Amino acid sequence: MNSLEKAINRQEIEIVKAILKHKDIDVNAMNEDGETYLSFAVRIESVKIVKMLFDK
C-alpha cells in the first residue's frame, strides 16, 4: 500500500489533497489487486475523497 492508498484508507483529507497536488500522480493507476484509487475510495465510502479524485 502506497502513501496515497494509506491516506485514502485512513480518510486523511488534507494528506490526500497534498499528495494530489503533485502533477506526476496518476489517479487511474492500479494497485497490485487491480483496484484504482477511485474504486478504493468508493469501496470505503469516502465521498469527499471520491470528489477530490474526480476533480484531479
* pLDDT in the model for residue 4: 94
- Alpha-carbon distance 46 to 40, whole Å? 9
Enumerate the β-bridge partners of residue 51: none
* pLDDT in the model for residue 27: 86
List the grid coordinates of 35.
483496484
For 1-56, write each residue's pLDDT tens digit: 789 999 999 999 999 999 999 878 888 899 888 999 999 999 999 999 999 999 98
How far, CA to CA in Å, does 12 sit from each of 3, 25, 35?
11, 17, 19
Q: Which fold is adopted by the domain 3-55?
A: 1.25.40
Domain residue ranges of the chain, discontinuous segments joined by +: 3-55
- Alpha-carbon distance 33 to 36, whole Å? 9
pTM equals 0.86
